[in-house]
């Protein structure tokens, strides 16, 4: 979720003429994209949640159409991305921290953050509806085990790639 969220900031920032200073991707903390200069900071700031949801939830939902054996797991991943981004930005309307604080500082009204949060949470619920209504059956245990092992391997790689040196 952090990777697609930051990718959204990067894409929106570059598309709006920003210069990237650095990207911090550490799964143990908040990730961050810092810009050296950005002529349109609001575009770069909204890129994280908007494109993060489109990419982070869209890809699993598309894959669930072509990989029916993983439909159950992919819907849960998509819903998690929607819910995480929705809560992060939506609750930021009342308690601005991180991106929500930047969005408000750059001129977004708080109600827009709340609307984004509500819309994302409704989309997460809608994404999970087949799971809750048992229309999508869990994949057999062999697929679940493979999916779990792949997820753990990816998490381990992420920890090694983004290990921050302690000084």
pLDDT tens-digit profile of 6-51?
988 899 899 999 899 989 888 788 888 888 988 889 889 999 999 8
Query: 166 in a domain, yes or no?
Result: no
**Number of domains comprising the chain:** 1
Average pLDDT of the residues in 109-124 = 90
Bigger pLDDT: 56 vs 136: 56
Closest CA to 92 of 122, 112, 77: 112
Residue 77 lies in a domain: yes
CA angle 87, 75, 142 (to 5 degrees): 130
* 46 within domain boundaries: yes
Q: What is the pLDDT of residue 114?
A: 92
Residue 145 lies in a domain: yes
- The domain of 61 spans 2-161
């Amino acid at each position: 979720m952090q990777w697609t969220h930051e990718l959204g900031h990067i894409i929106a920032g570059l598309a709006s003429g920003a210069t990237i200073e650095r990207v911090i991707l550490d799964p143990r903390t908040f990730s961050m994209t810092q810009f050296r200069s950005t002529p349109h900071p609001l575009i770069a700031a909204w890129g994280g949640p908007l494109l993060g949801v489109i990419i982070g939830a869209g890809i699993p939902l598309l894959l669930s159409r072509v990989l029916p054996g993983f439909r159950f797991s992919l819907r849960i991943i998509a819903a998690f991305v929607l819910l995480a981004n929705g809560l992060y930005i939506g609750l930021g309307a009342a308690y601005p921290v991180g991106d929500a604080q930047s969005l408000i500082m750059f001129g977004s009204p708080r109600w827009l953050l709340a609307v984004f949060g509500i819309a994302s949470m409704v989309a997460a619920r809608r994404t999970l509806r087949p799971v809750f209504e048992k229309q999508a059956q869990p994949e057999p245990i062999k697929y679940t085990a493979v999916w779990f092992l792949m997820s753990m391997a990816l998490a381990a790689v992420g920890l090694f790639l983004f290990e921050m040196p302690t000084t």
